[in-house]
C-alpha cells in the first residue's frame, strides 16, 4: 500500500461487504502470502466497470481467481478471459469460479502470458486488466493492447509499488531492478500515443487508461 496504514484501513472499511466467498479468498491470500488486489483498488475498478459496461474483459494474472470474480460481478453479463501460468493456482481459481456461479462467464487460460493468447483471433476485448509479473508489464501491454477496442479501458495494478517508484534506492538490491522497470513502464504508459492515462494513488497504485478513438 502507498497510503498510510490508517488511511488504508479507513478506505477498506468503506468498501461494501463482500460475498462469503470473496472474504474467504481474502483470508486465504493473507495466510498464504498470495498477492491479490487491495480492497480500495478493487472497489474503484468495480465502479469503472459499472459505468463503462464492458462486454469482454481480458485479465493477465489470475492467481486464485479473486480479482476475476470482482470483474465478472461488476461487469454484469461480460465474458472474462483470464490467464494464469501457475497450474495449481489455476485449478484453485477454476474451483472458485464454479463456487461463485461464474464458471460459464469466466474462461481460464493456463499458460505463459508473455506468449500472448493461444488464439490470436480471440479478441477483441473492451477492457484489459494487468496484475501479474510487474517486470513484464510493458511486454503485456504491447502484446494485448492490439486486442483492445477503441474507447476501451486498460487498468494496471501495483504501478506505484509501495511508493518505491519515487525512491528506487530504498528498494534494496533485489527489488531495485523491478522498481526501475515499473518506473520505465509508467513513463511508457503516460506517453503512449494510443492511450490517455491517469495514475491513482490508491491501494498500491492503479493506472487507468482509455484507448483513444481514431488513433
123-182: pLDDT as tens digits: 799 999 999 988 999 999 999 999 999 999 999 999 999 888 888 777 788 888 889 999
- pLDDT at position 33 is 92
Q: Is the peptide bond before 195 cis (omega within 30 degrees of 0)?
A: no
**Residue bearing cell 497504485:** 205
CA distance 141 to 116: 10
Q: What is the pTM of this model?
A: 0.93
* Contact criterion met (CB below 8 Å) for 207 and 159: yes
Low-confidence ranges of the chain (pLDDT < 50): none
Alpha helices, DSSP H only, in the chain? 5-14, 20-32, 39-52, 66-74, 87-99, 137-144, 172-190
Closest CA to 209 of 124, 141, 113: 141
Amino acid at each position: 500500500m502507498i497510503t498510510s496504514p490508517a488511511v488504508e484501513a479507513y478506505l477498506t472499511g468503506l468498501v461494501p461487504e463482500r460475498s462469503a466467498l470473496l472474504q474467504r479468498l481474502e483470508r486465504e491470500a493473507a495466510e498464504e502470502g498470495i498477492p491479490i488486489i487491495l480492497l480500495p483498488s478493487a472497489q474503484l475498478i468495480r465502479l469503472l466497470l459499472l459505468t463503462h459496461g464492458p462486454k469482454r474483459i481480458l485479465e493477465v494474472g489470475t492467481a486464485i481467481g479473486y480479482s476475476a470474480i470482482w470483474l465478472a460481478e461488476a461487469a454484469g453479463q461480460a465474458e472474462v478471459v483470464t490467464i494464469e501460468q501457475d497450474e495449481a493456482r489455476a485449478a484453485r481459481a477454476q474451483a472458485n469460479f464454479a463456487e461463485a456461479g461464474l464458471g460459464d462467464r469466466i474462461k481460464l487460460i493456463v499458460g505463459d502470458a508473455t506468449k500472448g493468447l493461444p488464439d490470436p483471433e480471440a479478441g477483441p476485448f473492451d477492457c484489459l486488466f494487468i496484475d501479474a509479473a510487474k517486470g513484464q508489464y510493458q511486454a503485456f501491454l504491447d502484446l494485448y493492447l492490439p486486442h483492445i477496442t477503441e474507447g476501451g479501458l486498460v487498468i494496471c495494478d501495483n504501478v506505484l509499488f509501495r511508493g518505491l517508484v519515487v525512491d528506487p534506492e530504498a528498494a534494496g538490491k533485489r527489488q531495485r531492478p523491478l522498481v526501475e522497470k515499473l518506473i520505465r513502464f509508467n513513463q511508457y504508459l503516460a506517453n503512449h500515443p494510443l492511450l490517455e492515462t491517469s495514475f491513482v494513488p490508491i491501494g498500491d497504485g492503479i493506472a487507468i487508461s482509455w484507448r483513444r478513438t481514431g488513433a
